């Protein structure tokens, strides 16, 4: 009994010789707000070398005017020319367009941890900081948001 010549062969993902495209991953974006040009340059160098896209703002006005593209995380210095970075954090967390995006405060102030959390920040980094630690804080916050999105999708499917 031979096989029918007219029968179409189906292609299964497990068939040898077929390579399926892997999903593309987009670079994550960090928005840095710091009025010190040297610090901005350092952050730009660190994050670009780590594979992130980065947008830098030299003053709080740009952030308050929503003059930026939506990032995956905000990194805000506590002391910005004419503004308290904690007020910028409060603004971002009260804005429906940015309230879901992690805000990480950066400061040399010894009480930055408690004041940042009270202002609604998701995390903080105290200056001077270790580069590896800074990158871990960034990745931890990006991953947390990603995991929360997945959990919401799973919950919606389960309903």
pLDDT by residue (tens digit) across 90-103?
A: 999 999 999 999 99
pTM over 0.85: no
Phi, psi of 77 (to 5 degrees): -75, 140
Position with higher pLDDT, 13 vs 139: 139
Rounded-to-integer distance, Cα 43 and Cα 46, Å: 5
Q: For the chain, what is the domain count?
A: 1
Asked if residue 63 belongs to a domain, the reply is: yes
How many percent of the chain have pLDDT more than 70?
76
Q: What is the pLDDT of residue 77?
A: 96
Asked if residue 16 belongs to a domain, the reply is: no
Asked if residue 114 belongs to a domain, the reply is: yes
Q: Which domain holds residue 99?
A: 29-152
Q: CATH no. for residue 83?
A: 3.40.50.2300
């Amino acid at each position: 009994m031979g096989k029918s010549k007219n029968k179409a062969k189906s292609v299964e993902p497990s068939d040898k010789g077929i390579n399926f495209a892997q999903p593309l991953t987009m670079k994550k974006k960090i928005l840095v707000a710091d009025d010190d040009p040297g610090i901005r340059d350092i952050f730009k160098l660190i994050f670009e070398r780590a594979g992130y896209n980065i947008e830098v703002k030299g003053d709080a006005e740009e952030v308050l005017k929503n003059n930026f593209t939506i990032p995956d995380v905000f990194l805000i210095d506590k002391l910005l020319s004419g503004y308290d970075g904690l007020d910028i954090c409060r603004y971002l967390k009260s804005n429906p367009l940015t309230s879901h995006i992690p805000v990480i405060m950066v400061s040399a102030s010894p009480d930055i941890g408690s004041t940042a959390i009270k202002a609604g920040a998701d995390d903080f980094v105290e200056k001077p900081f270790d580069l590896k630690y800074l990158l871990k804080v960034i990745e931890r916050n990006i991953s947390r948001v990603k995991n929360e999105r997945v959990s919401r999708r799973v919950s919606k499917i389960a309903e």
